[in-house]
Structure 1
Amino acid sequence: FTLSAMIDLMYLLSNCNQKKWFENIDKNLPIFIISGEDDPVGNYGKGVTAVFENLKQNGANVTLKLYKNCRHEIHNDSCKDEMFADILNFIC
């Protein structure tokens, strides 16, 4: 990561859990949240589930998929074929 990327990431992380952020999400924008259930970065599914619930409570068009026995880099994990198929189904 460059310093600029790290600053952007910290800005996003500090804002994406604020009530205002959830309220301002475009309700017509379909959102697909994916994560491995064993991902420590997403607090083992708890963090991404909390984001999903907050979005849903604010009327967002959101879908959540947690992949069992997968960690942070789900595109390189045992669930990668399922994950890519799910993404294709979501966008098509």
Structure 2
Amino acid sequence: MIKNQATADTSIIEQPVPAADTRISTILPASTAMPIHCDLCDEEHNYSMAFLRGLPSLKCKQCGDERRFSSLELKVLEEALKQMGYYIRTA
């Protein structure tokens, strides 16, 4: 990105914007897998964001523990991704 700066003689000098001032975001597909650990045995399972947005019931394949994925967890996950510069497509 280039910023324009007027000088005393009214000509314009183009200066590059430092990388620290530029925010880059990455848009990921809704099929992006997110690791979710079982609350009981800590086994990791991968679920797509599209699946998690449906607030499903999650069942551990190792110990059989089952629980609902909550709207709060979804909000926290999406906000954490956003803070890291990642956005998930809605469809």
Bigger proportion of residues as helix:
1
Q: TM-score, normalization: structure 1? A: 0.29
Bigger proportion of residues as strand:
2
Q: TM-score, normalization: structure 2? A: 0.30
